[in-house]
Amino acid sequence: MSSLSSDSSVRILVLGAHPDDAEFHAGAFLARHARLGATIRIVSVTDGRSGHQSIPSPELVEIRRKEAVAAGAVIQSEYVTWDFPDGSLTPSLEVRWAIIRELRTFQPELVLTHRTIDYHPDHRAVAQAVQDASYMVRVPKVVPDVPPVEREPIVAAMNDRFTRPCPFRADYVIDGTNEFEKMLDMMDCHQSQFYDWMPWIDRTAPPSSMVRADRLAWLKDWFLQFHGYRTNAFWKSAWGSTPLHVEAFEISEYAGVLSSEKSERLFPGAFSK
């Protein structure tokens, strides 16, 4: 297990497909890094316009932007929402170039994103675009208006449960129990999603009360019921007692090389296989 020492020089960029993807898949990890002083920037590549059953898309885009900013504020991180339309994303040159510009401008040491194997086409598109940008970020004649970086960042996929054609490989696993409540605070900011859209699309009952304590209790139960699989899937008994919440990350073979020294800095408190 790596140490939990503070290193304020760590820069982390999350490239998620939608507002709420970052905290849903890696909220505890981000909360830990925020506490240790890292600089974190969260990007939703799409505008979130399709994530509701009834709110008109122009209104929903503004709602989701505000929810994302509020979620970022919970861990004092910047949270921005790009203008690519939700539900229509492809790994186009335009998306790749936008990601290259982001990588060169922010210059993260670690990038979190989705896998190219995923149920959602937007997730797959972002993952593919990040993979396609990982080497090109160093090529001067690609997106020549922004100077290239000297080294590719480390890229890690956030955990998922998909197995075909290949299952998620948990290279680094964290016990996120201590940061679980902070993750819920971030998710709670996305009220249009977790208390309205998700219950509607999953055909489950929404919270009966929107008093904050009540809805947080509902959110905790909902999350652990449907997404607590991570503990069974990724945690090894040799590492200790079973945590309440686990997050895992798979290192990309298409980006920077992760040394043992870097792993201590980038995955504090993590267990590795």
Which residue segment(s) compose the domain that 28 sits in? 11-266
For residue 8, name the pLDDT band (cuts at 50, 70, 90). low
Q: How far apart are CA 257 and CA 92, in angstroms?
A: 26
Over residues 47-74, the mean pLDDT reads: 98
Q: How far apart are CA 35 and CA 187, in angstroms?
A: 18
CA 18 vs CA 49, 75, 83, 84, 257: distances in Å: 9, 18, 11, 10, 27
| pLDDT tens digits, 13-22 | 999 999 999 9
Global confidence as pTM: 0.96
The CA-based dihedral angle spanning residues 28, 71, 101, 171, taken in that order and rounded to the nearest 10 degrees: 10
Residue 248 domain flag: yes
Task: For residue 216, give both structure tokens.
Answer: 């947080």
Residue 151 domain flag: yes
| pLDDT tens digits, 201-256 | 999 999 999 999 999 999 999 999 988 899 999 999 999 999 999 999 999 999 99
pLDDT at 26: 98
What is the 8-class DSSP label of residue 247? E
Q: Do you find a cis peptide bond into 165, omega within 30 degrees of 0?
A: yes
Total Cβ atoms within 10 A of residue 209: 10
pLDDT of 2 over the 90 cut: no
pLDDT at 5: 61
Residue 243 domain flag: yes
Over residues 22-28, the mean pLDDT reads: 98
Which residue type does 33 have? H
CA 105 to chain centre: 19
CATH of the domain at 139: 3.40.50.10320
Residues 6 or more apart whose CB falls under 8 angstroms from that of 191 comprise 67
pLDDT at 65: 98
Beta bridge partners of 250: 157
Burial class, 92, CB count within 10 angstroms (exposed 0-12 / middle 13-18 / buried 19+):
middle
SS (H, E, C) 166-184: CCCCCCEEEECHHHHHHHH
CB 10 within 8 A of CB 57: no
Number of domains present in the structure of the chain: 1
Residue 206 domain flag: yes
Mean pLDDT of the chain: 96
pLDDT at 12: 98
Residue 108 domain flag: yes
Residue 3 domain flag: no
